Structure 1
Amino acid sequence: MRGALSLAARLRSLPAEDLRALLLRRAPAVTGVQDHADLAEALLSRPNLDAALDRLVRPELALALELAAAETGIPAGSLGHDVPQRLDHLALIELADDGWHLYDAVAERLAERGVEADSLRTPDAVEPSERPDGLATERAFLLVSGVAELLHELAREPARRLQHGGLALPAARRLAERTGRPRTEIETLLSLADEAALAAGDSAWERGAEADSWLDARPAERWRILAAAWRGRLPPAALDDLAHGWRDGPETLLQRLLPLGGAERERFAERIGEAELLGIAVDGTIGAAGQAVLERRDADAEAAIGAAMPAPVERVYLQHDLSVIAPGPLRGDLDRRLRGVALAEGGGLASSYRITTETVEQALVDGETADDLLAFLGALSLTGVPQPLEYLIRSTAGRHGSLRAGPPAAEETEGPEPAVSVLHAEDPSVLDTVLVDQAVAPLALRRSGPHRALSRFDPEVLYWTLRDARYPVALEDAAGALVTPRRPVPAQRRSTGTAPYAALVERLAALPAPNAAEDEAGWIARRIELAVRRKGLVRLTVRMPDDRTVEAVLEPTSIAGGRVRARDRAADLERTLPLSRIVAVEPAD
């Protein structure tokens, strides 16, 4: 017998992080859970069990049925690795000395749901008459280009998230416009980027830790990273079924892959949609690169998709109208630096950019100099640096920092109207213009000298307001050094509660260890109470008055007043035992 008692003992032995990982995988309702025995009962309750069983893909469900029919444990070595490991991680099976066992409640629920092993046979392999490798490559390139534009835009301005986790509508519109992808796909792109550590965020989406290295990679390598991240969101046991494709429609695949249905089919439908966007499949037919992804041959996948992708270019045409034309996708590291001084206007096979006063000003804020910019553009250009472009860069650099926003002097923070920030102008006439400009009137600037004006707003607010009004302003710190600010995100307040299940795991970890003498009796009583509710057999170890120990397999019926009443099925009689004499409770074999 392997029931809640056995599971409770296992849960108690898990390290806190492993227990929380299990709970995150199962996502059970845990209302009223006070200890590990309560948690075991919750995990094996019908609603929580159904939610876990619905997630099982065909090979996993087939193994569960095999374990349910087995009279003894099935040796671990005979089952491979991936499938039993996932069932174990979902707390549906456990490994004993004689092999894997299904928990009794799981076997009972499978029987009640009427799942038949014959319906779970491996599908016959059907080779497509023609692989869609050309269309797959086109989709892959467009997807990679869209994610790249997404990351560049997140670097420029993070995308605000709503309290429930969705993307704010203005941010979704902005990202759709910049990426050239439908607004309905933006959440999918963010999800793929998140899985690959390219984007992350709580109140707002921002560039992730791996974004820069990904952007510097070749298009085929970028695709391989995204495809591997997509695969990592799937149970390994599902990959073989997915490799057969879904030419007869995704609904047929989902019915075969997830026989028990439930909400998991909706999540898998999203993964299928992502596979189509990535070019792993085209209208349900798996291409050569997609087949390699599903078979975990990532190097082959990258080679297959890269063979037909356009090669990156390393030189561009600088035009007199300040536009920049790349005759192909620009090499990643060059594209990243060029975007530091130019606005990308179009991607794809031929990329275009435009250099403006604002983009040059931003490059100067980021630490570039006029000479550095001209040297970089000169080396990048096939046609040299046009005179209008050189004039724009040098004239903008000459004006850069003529207005500086920063913290005020100590004496300016005192008095009836203390200042929070100061605006310094090298040319008093420029300050005159700023003070009468209605676009910056909300800053409530007041002149404190020929070259200075004070404000009650933070220096960054002062800086961004003037930047948006197209003034050549720079931001400086208290020492007078220029700093590069990040545009603030107007994020909606989000919950600051603890992570899911963290409080429960912390509470369970604080429970007294069952091997402590003063706590052993309470733990034994709790396990017996659970056995009473489950009406199951347990093996009790009882210490006799002469200090001998004996074992008995009994069915506890009640516990009260320090005594346990239990039915001895073998002798067909009821026994009463002092709880203080019971030294161990184990599941009956």
Structure 2
Amino acid sequence: MTSSLADHLRALPDEGLMALIRLRPDLVIPPPSDFSALAHRAQSRVAVARALDGLDTFTLEILDALRYTRVGHTSSVEAVLALTAPAGVEAARVRAAIDLLRSYAVAYGPDPAVRIVGAVDEVCSPYPLGLGRPAEQLDPMAGALVSDAAGLRRTLLAAPPAARAVLDRLAAGPPVGTVTPASLEPGSDSPVRWLVDRHLLVSVGRDAVELPVEISLVLRRDAGPLGQLHPDPPPMEAPQRDPAQVDRAGAGQVLELVRNAEALVETIGAEPPAVLRSGGLGIRELRRYSKTVGVDEQSTALLVEIVTAAGLLGEEIVDTKRVESVFLPTIAYDAWRAMGIAARWHRLAVTWLTMTRAASLVGQRDDRDRPINALAPELSRPGAPAQRRAALQVLADLPPGATAARADVVEVLAWRAPRRITRGVSAGVEASLAEAAFVGLTGFDGLTTYGRLLLEELASDVVDADDPLGLNSPEGIALIGSAALLDTLLPAPVDHVLLQADLSVIVPGPPEPGLGAELELLGTQESASVYRITADTVRRSLDAGYSAADLHALLARRSRTPVPQTLTYLIDDMARKHGGMRVGSANSYVRSDDESLIAEVLADRRLQPLNLRRLAPSVLTSRHTPQRLLEALREAGYPPVQEDATGAAVLARPKVRRGPPRPTWAYRGVEDPAAGVRLSTPRLAGVIEQIRRGDAAARVARRAPVTVRANGAATASHTEALEVLQQALRDKTRVWVGYIDAHGATASRLVRPVSMGSGYLRAEDERTEMLHTFALHRITAAVPEEG
């Protein structure tokens, strides 16, 4: 029979070790040297807390039952079954929970002698099952009361309603309550004082009371010693909808998400905002973008975070001396914009699922009572990706088309991982579900079919977080999986428009990239599917190099309805006037073959601030720049064209600025070095082989001459010494400690360990009644006291 975790791990087959490492990959990052080191790491406080964080409520209740039924250092499965039988829980479910604890190496050993690793008592409640200490240990008078069963029953029946409510609250656990000192003073009429006077509660300080375990068990007689168990998650009301209806709702939001993301980045590119010294985006800019895009500020903040994390938005330094930067679209944005809607959504959705940013915190106050801005470093939350996936997984476990309220999802998550779900985390889960609806993964509070497939892809590593679209694959941007499924739900891109008599342009579906670029130049977007052609947009097209014939041909080719005659006249009229006036630099000049037009401009009072001077019948000069002169003439209603030094017209297509993306480390991350790590089977086999070889070498070394002796016994491994100390701490036994003192000399001392942590061992020398502190790195050996 194995008595230590190291022996238990050493006896496991390779398959069992692989299962353990898959559940707790942090144990092999970096790979331990031998099984003693692996056991030491598995029993550390941090590793045990991380393992318990992933266990559900029922498994933790069974762990408490093992702790409560311990006799010495071991418990048994039969003792736990006897304790859970009154609660009506099936024995198979109890055994399955214990097996799960064994698979996590939180418990180990055969059914008659199950051991629990020591750090469990450190990270869990000091009151297993919510039960306090024995009455005799707390107070002799309380011990006398509980020894008289009839007297205890009469006292409980005599308790006033307020006092009985206090007892029921403490009986449910934990058994310790905090009260005001005044309520414990003699003569107080508080229900707590009534209970203390009758020894139903025991005062354990100026402001705390404790309920003895015997009284708790009497109060729990209906539910059993364990109290209320929770073998199943709370029921959910899941109204059923047609899965196709849920998919259509999600697909509609996908179109909105992609359109809003494109509008946001284009707006930022037109007038790049400055990066705050704190690293975020200003509140005024966020509000302005919210009005421009047409969504609320919280959704705009989420959109900003997603496009930045996806690499579509970056920063560029504009002043190296003062280190000032602005936000700019990146080159990746141009590639993203050229893709189809499904591929564009896929990148945004994967980014949202994997980014370590909590956009829901934008607008809240930090610890210094300052508002948190979008893109600020304070929004980094390493656990955000796991939280989003956990919330969506609850929906994924429901049948297709089933919907669920957000509060119900929080309750199920609180059962699945009670140590992780706190009040703040509950708000984060609800925010994650709201963001999932905004991203288009859910519709009518139900998970879409393509959203379900995307979660499966992420779980199976089909999607590469660094290359979510598969751009580096031989297939290029070919749609696969969830993106291909979504593409079948979206309306097909259209290559035509419907021209109306009022010069509006209706796009009967998402425009293909070529049509979208033409519409952006030729019209002004009024809604998702409506553009409007005006004199300014026609001039803008002519400035970009189109001729009147080009525009007529473009409209004839793209429109499925006749081109309105008013639009034809507008284009011809603007083309006839376009270029009739030229602007150059004198600082700048205006020239035209139409001398009457030059005279009209010179006499125009609106242009007097330009200080125009007539050099010739067809030439005017100005001290202002050509750009300023162009703007002034256009504001006055003239259609000038800029020309260069050779007299050629300068095309006015705006120059697009692009900046480098932000560092990806600010957005991608994991909760800890091992979270989210998936080790392949060959790599697992290599790690296990390395541990077994290291363990064999350590056993050979233990047979070699020892370096430190203590009371006739010795240890040769510092790691094994730490394991001996941990066992002595759990067993509360004495141990010989060999160490290097302050003068560099070897010494030994017989002590009883009190605590070990933060790099130090604190132990009591019972012979001198002194407490000694040893640095762990100076300890060379540890041997249990013999006999």
TM-score (norm 2): 0.45
Q: Which amino acid aligns with 1:224?
A: H
Structure 1 residue 396 and structure 2 residue 574: aligned?
yes
Report what 1:376 is aligned to: 554
C-alpha distance in structure 2 between counterparts of 1:434 and 1:552, whole Å:
96
Q: Cα offset for 1:379?
A: 0.4
SS in 2 for 1:242: helix
Change (3 A) 1:343 1:80: farther
Cα-to-partner distance string for 1:208-263 (whole Å, 9 max, x where unaligned): 32434444444333322322222232677653553213744265477566817698
Q: Counterpart of 1:324 in 2: which secondary structure?
A: strand
What is the 5 A alignment of 1:45-124? 78=19, 84=25, 93-98=29-34, 107-108=44-45, 118-119=55-56
CA deviations 1:293-324 (Å, max 9, x no partner) are: 11127733234433433333322222333222
For each residue in 1:313-360, what CA deviation from the matched residue of structure 2 results, as whole angstroms up to 9, or x when unmatched?
A: 32222233322222333333212212211111221xxx2211111111
**Structure 1 residues 116 and 391: CA distance shift in structure 2, 3 A:** closer
Output the CA distance in 2 between the equivalents of 1:569 and 1:462: 92
Match for residue 472 of structure 1 among 639, 644, 652: 639
Map 1:237-276 onto structure 2 (within 5 A): 239=389, 242-245=392-395, 247-249=405-407, 251-252=410-411, 259=420, 271-276=432-437
Match of 1:345 among 526, 544, 551: 526
Partner amino acid for 2:521? G
Query: CA 1:129–1:462 in structure 2 vs 1: closer, same or farther (change >3 Å)?
Result: same
The answer to whether structure 1 residue 331 and structure 2 residue 512 are counterparts is yes
2:531 match: secondary structure: strand
Q: 1:406 to 1:248 in 2, by over 3 A?
A: same
Match of 1:196 among 310, 320, 340: 310
Do the aligned residues in 2 keep the contact of 1:159 with 1:168 (CA within 8 Å)? no
Question: Which deviations, in whole Å up to 9, do the C-alpha atoms of 1:533-587 show, x marking residues without a partner?
Answer: xxxxxxxxx9xxxxxxxx99686666xxxxx746655899xxxxxxxxxxxx999
Q: Give the corresponding residue for 1:28.
A: none
Distance 1:129 1:365, change over 3 A: same
Q: Does 1:301 align with 2:482?
A: yes
CA distance in 1, matches of 2:591, 2:747: 94
Q: Hey, what does 2:438 align to over in structure 1?
A: 277
From 449, 457, 460, give the equivalent of 2:615.
Answer: 449
User: For this pair of structures, how many residues does the alignment match?
Assistant: 427
Say if 1:254 and 1:269, in contact at 8 Å, map to a contact too: no
Which residues of 2 match residues 147-546 of structure 1 at below 5 A?
147-154=261-268, 157-161=270-274, 163=276, 164=278, 167=281, 171-172=285-286, 175-201=289-315, 203-233=325-355, 239=389, 242-245=392-395, 247-249=405-407, 251-252=410-411, 259=420, 271-282=432-443, 284-296=445-457, 299-347=480-528, 351-408=529-586, 421-426=587-592, 427=594, 444-447=610-613, 449-450=615-616, 451-457=619-625, 459-464=626-631, 466-467=633-634, 471-477=638-644, 481=648, 482-484=650-652, 486=654
Q: Aligned to 1:453, what secondary structure does the other structure show?
A: strand
Structure 1 position 191, deviation (Å): 2.3
Counterpart Cα distance in 1 of 2:621 and 2:11: 84
Residue 441 of structure 1 and its aligned partner are, at CA, apart by 6.5
Q: Secondary structure at the match of 1:452?
A: strand
CA contact (8 A) 1:403 1:423 kept: no
- TM-score, structure 1 as length reference: 0.57
Amino acid at match of 1:184: Q
Cα deviation for residue 207 of structure 1 reads: 3.6
Distance 1:500 1:287 in 2: 30
Larger radius of gyration: 2
Shift of 1:389: 1.7
SS of residue paired to 2:302: helix
**Deviation string, structure 1 residues 373-421 (Cα, Å, up to 9, x no partner):** 221111001134333222222332333344545544xxxxxxxxxxxx3
2: distance between equivalents of 1:432 and 1:165? 54
- The code of the aligned residue for 1:338 comes to L
Report if aligned partners of 2:313, 2:330 keep a CA contact under 8 Å in 1. yes
**Cα gap change, 1:112/1:488 in structure 2, threshold over 3 Å: closer, same or farther?**
closer
CA distance in 2, matches of 1:568, 1:479: 94
Which residue identity does 1:422 align to in structure 2? S
User: How well do the aligned residues superpose, as a CA RMSD in angstroms?
Assistant: 5.0
Are the aligned partners of 1:344 and 1:352 in contact in 2 as well (CA < 8 Å)?
yes
Identity within the alignment, %: 25
Asked if residue 136 in structure 1 is aligned to residue 250 in structure 2, the reply is yes
CA distance in 2, matches of 1:290, 1:318: 37
Q: Distance in 2 between matches of 1:449 and 1:80?
A: 86
Shift of 1:288: 1.2
Amino acid at match of 2:255: F
Aligned mates of 1:401, 1:205 — CA distance in 2? 36
Q: Aligned-pair distance for 1:277?
A: 0.5
The question of whether the paired residues in 1 share the 8 Å contact of 2:9 and 2:17 is answered with no
Unaligned runs of 5+ in 2: 60-99, 101-231, 317-324, 357-382, 396-403, 464-479, 658-662, 667-706, 708-715, 719-737, 752-776, 782-787
Over 3 Å counting, the alpha-carbon distance change for 1:461 and 1:293 in structure 2 is farther
- Structure 1 stretches lacking a partner, 5+ long: 1-65, 409-420, 490-497, 502-541, 543-550, 559-563, 573-584
Residues 390 and 413 of structure 2 are in contact (CA less than 8 Å); yes or no, is this contact kept in structure 1? no
- Residues of 1 paired with 2:426 and 2:606: CA distance? 53
2:615 partner amino acid: G
Secondary structure of 2:30's aligned partner: strand
Contact 2:501–2:564 (CA under 8 A) maintained in structure 1: yes
Counterpart of 2:223 in structure 1 is none
